[in-house]
Chains A and B, each alone.
Chain A
């Protein structure tokens, strides 16, 4: 999923302008000429400059607008696997506070492994061991307050 140089240049210019507009309302430090807006504005100017450079260069090379799509975009398997990884992260964010760390983690591991093609005979024990190992090492040894599962008190 690749945009052409000309598109990239124009996108960068637009981003720079957007940053500048967003920074207009930032107040200065009372009694000073500088403050919250100074840095975003400086970034905005530099961004626009870079965008112009890219655009001009692309125009000189007779570039066109457009989006180049590689093979994987049309491959259902690839899209499924990428979507699954992203969905599993979302599942953790939503599920862990309810289910607790251990069940959520186990589900993520087992689903990801099976979808990616690990045989169940390997995926189940590996997921189980990895979940307990991570839960114990982080939760107990490193004292990270992972979400608790009240129905699995022996883990804590």
Chain B
């Protein structure tokens, strides 16, 4: 009797192969979608996490870049994938902004957030040729002149650093357009333009300006975080200088489509935690000046939700949100 039952189970297992596959997750290659281009920061984080996951899970984890559309395309590809754990991706902060801009209906709630693996606070950087050597002196100039005298750049229209700058100006009781924001295709072209004399200020993360700061072409004035950054110990926080309590940080999370089976999620979260703590990941992030930050599924989802609300508020006030 027992034998027959056992045989029956084996038979059923063989027949139902697919349905039981999740018990032995993962058994085939996993695809990791990166919504941004090869060579960028998100791509690098995605690839190094993927290589660690691969060691941990024992199946290939292939990074696939689905770029364009300010991240909408790649994020949609992650959210619309089969929630079987064989498609995951890097979800970036843009998910908290693009639905406010009316670009998509997609929000963080369409994802199963597995972990947050990095955050980078915004900063205030000016050209080394400029007259400003502190946030106070810069803010004084901005206040003294009519709106639009000074320009900033470092991301696309309505991008994170645009919102970050608007939030900072609002916190200083200035209108969000006191500084004109000139859209650029990222922090690097923005910084180049600033050094060439094209714009006055870049509100992007200090990590993105690191090589130019080291080259003494760019002067970091402040970080928009609660505490000073480890990689830039000499750069004060906004609270220390102007007294503004505004903080903003980009983050990167690893997420899958909503509705991952529990065992799959647990396997992935455990593997991600090991990957995060690996020597390779830690030293890579330090080398690049990227901020390390671990948050498990619940905490990460909470941070994402809070930012979603805060950005909605700033974007409405700054006129960046769609009506």
Direct contact of A and B (CB under 8 A): yes
Question: Restricting to B109-144, which residues have a CB under 8 Å from any CB of A?
Answer: none
Say whether A145 contacts B177, CB under 8 Å. no
Interface check B295, CB cutoff 8 A? no
Residues of B contacting A156 with CB < 8 Å?
28
Residues of B contacting A29 with CB < 8 Å?
157, 183
A38 to chain B, nearest CB (A): 12
CA distance A29 to B148 in the complex (A): 14
Interface check A73, CB cutoff 8 A? no
How many residues of B sit at the interface, in one of the four size bands? 10 to 19
Residues of B contacting A143 with CB < 8 Å?
60, 62
Residues of B contacting A30 with CB < 8 Å?
177, 319-320
Contact among B62, B180, B319 for A145, CB-based, below 8 A: B62
Interface check A31, CB cutoff 8 A? yes
Residues of B contacting A145 with CB < 8 Å?
31, 62, 64
Residues of A contacting B320 with CB < 8 Å?
30
CA distance A42 to B28 in the complex (A): 51
Interface string of B57-86 (1 = CB under 8 A from A): 000101010000000000000000000000
Beta-carbon nearest neighbor of A36 in chain B: B157
Residues of A contacting B177 with CB < 8 Å?
30-31
B114 to chain A, nearest CB (A): 21
CA distance A30 to B148 in the complex (A): 12
16 residue pairs of the A-B complex, CB under 8 angstroms, read A29-B157, A29-B183, A30-B177, A30-B319, A30-B320, A31-B148, A31-B177, A31-B180, A31-B319, A32-B180, A143-B60, A143-B62, A145-B31, A145-B62, A145-B64, A156-B28
Could you tell me which B residues sit within 8 Å of A by CB distance?
A: 28, 31, 60, 62, 64, 148, 157, 177, 180, 183, 319-320
- 6 smallest CB-CB distances across A and B, nearest first, come from A30-B319, A31-B177, A143-B62, A29-B157, A145-B31, A145-B64
12 additional A-B residue pairs with CB within 8 Å, beyond A29-B157, A30-B319, A31-B180: A29-B183, A30-B320, A31-B148, A31-B177, A31-B319, A32-B180, A143-B60, A143-B62, A145-B31, A145-B62, A145-B64, A156-B28
